[in-house]
Amino acid sequence: MVSMTKARHSLGLVGLSPIECAKIATFIESEAEAAGCPWLVLHSDSCDALIVPADVEFSADPYQVLIRLVRFGGTPGEGLSITTPISARELMDVLKQAQELLGRQQKPAATGSLRVKMEDWGGMPANDRHDVPARDIPAGFGTTARHMTDGSAALKTDPYAVAAQITHPHAQPSAMATPQPVQQMPPQPAAHAGYGEAGEFSAAWDQIAVALYSIVQNSAPAVAEIRVENLDMIRIDFRFRAYNSRIPLEQVNTHGHRIAIRSTLVEAYRPPIVNLPGESLDKLFWFIGSQAFHGMAAPWLKPEERYRLRRWPNFTELNHAVADMRTAAAIGNCYLNAAELSSAAGITPEAATRTLNAYSLMGLLEIQANRSAPPVVFTPPPPEKSGGLFSKLRTKLGL
């Protein structure tokens, strides 16, 4: 059985034509799983490996493996390369070599090697905005700090749209859930993104969450499609912070294992791919963020950091529970980590972690700059029955 937390590498496609991107994406979707080299393809230049045209001047960071795409008439240089026309076999071979190289590199402790680009502080939208931008910015999952303008930022003006996709390679059922046809899925309870047993996400959604986080961090105009098995599809247009889904999110097959996300950079003037106004992207992020990662912290969150809300989530458009309001009130008024949030809001540590994951994906959190600041010590909230007006109203209104 394949482990749900199996470490994978990310592959960035930089400066390639749309056709080249699409071809690579298709090959990886169809071949990588069988070839035993699962890759997460992103339109990020901060990935573990990058495929860059051979004729483009480019310097990768030391941690990155650079694969040169040699077009017709070009000369392969040193290091890894592939040539056009791209073949699936050649691509798989070079990716295996890249995997070996990455495997020999020293890995950051505790977390996978998946990297995502951290935000451009001047760009919007941006997640997890730090209140003191001048400080070091953590880049990705447990890696050392770096800024996005390091390395390959000059290539961001590339005129080609860059296609990216991730596919979930796990053909076998995960340990947590069994795939079921969509029509047999019971609707999720109308509460906080229902993370009970019935609502448990398959591990594939963890990768979807990571990919979405990465796309948002990139701040570039992008669109994406999430395809869920049994033909469910969610279309996202990040430019308008909107999505469309054929069926309500609550009925999306969260147990599914065949899930893929494709994203493409688009020019700002291109028409939207969703029917505007569509649904708010926050709704999707809330849904995925609060259910992904099985109650563990999202890989981009750090246990030693404290967070505070930049603004409240727009609860009127989210599938929320009354307890979520207390949670938002707590983290809206002071910097807290998951344990402190759990204590302040009177919720379980797991629920606090899920909430932080969701808020983070939604871009609602800022990180406390002063890590040595003393924690806020809370007197535990009073029990429901003897509680304040909130608890009484909750009972009165039957919420």
Partner 1 sequence: MAEHVILFAGPMGAGKTTAIESLSEIETIRTEANNTDRETADKDTTTVALDYGEITVGDEDKVRLYGVPGQRRFNFMWTILKERAVGLVLLVNNDAADPIQELADFLDEFGDLHEKGGVVVCVTRSDVATSPHIDQYAEKIREVLPGRMIPVFTADARNTDQMRTCLMSLIANIEMTAMIAASQERAA
x/- map, 59-98, partner 1, by CB under 8 A: ----------------------------------------
Quick check: 329 binds partner 1 (CB under 8 A)? yes
Quick check: 325 binds partner 1 (CB under 8 A)? yes
User: In the complex, what is the shortest distance from the CB of residue 20 to partner 1, in angstroms, rounded to a whole number?
Assistant: 36
Exactly one of 26, 258, 314, 369 binds partner 1 (CB under 8 A); that residue is: 314
Q: Identify the residue whose tokens are 């207390």.
A: 326
Q: Which stretch binds partner 1 (CB under 8 A): 24-32, 164-172, 229-237, 332-340?
A: 332-340
Give the start-end residues of each E strand in the chain: 9-13, 39-42, 49-53, 65-70, 80-83, 129-130, 163-167, 222-228, 232-237, 242-245, 259-265, 279-280, 307-309, 365-367
Exactly one of 328, 351, 352, 361 binds partner 1 (CB under 8 A); that residue is: 328
Quick check: 394 binds partner 1 (CB under 8 A)? yes
User: Phi-psi bin for 271: left (phi > 0), alpha (psi -120 to 50), beta?
Assistant: beta
User: In the complex, what is the shortest distance from the CB of residue 395 to partner 1, in angstroms, rounded to a whole number?
Assistant: 8
Q: Which stretch binds partner 1 (CB under 8 A): 5-13, 64-72, 257-265, 324-332?
A: 324-332
Of 69 and 193, CB closest to partner 1: 193
Of 8 and 320, CB closest to partner 1: 320
* Residues touching partner 1, count (CB under 8 A): 37
Quick check: 326 binds partner 1 (CB under 8 A)? yes
Strand duo 242-245 + 232-237: pairing: antiparallel
Chain-centroid distance, C-alpha 384: 36
Q: Which stretch binds partner 1 (CB under 8 A): 10-18, 103-111, 221-229, 384-392?
A: 384-392
Report how far residue 191's alpha carbon sits from residue 212's, in angstroms, rounded to the nearest whole number.
Answer: 23
Quick check: 388 binds partner 1 (CB under 8 A)? yes
x/- map, 192-231, partner 1, by CB under 8 A: ----------------------------------------
Long-range CB contacts (within 8 A, 24+) of 371-375 = 371/304, 371/305, 371/306, 373/306, 373/335, 375/306, 375/336, 375/337, 375/340
Chain-centroid distance, C-alpha 317: 21
Burial of 97 (0-12, 13-18, 19+ CB in 10 A): middle
Burial of 41 (0-12, 13-18, 19+ CB in 10 A): buried
Residue ranges that bind partner 1, judged by CB under 8 A: 125, 241, 276-277, 309-312, 314-317, 320, 322, 325-326, 328-330, 332-334, 344, 376-379, 381, 388-390, 392-394, 396-397, 399
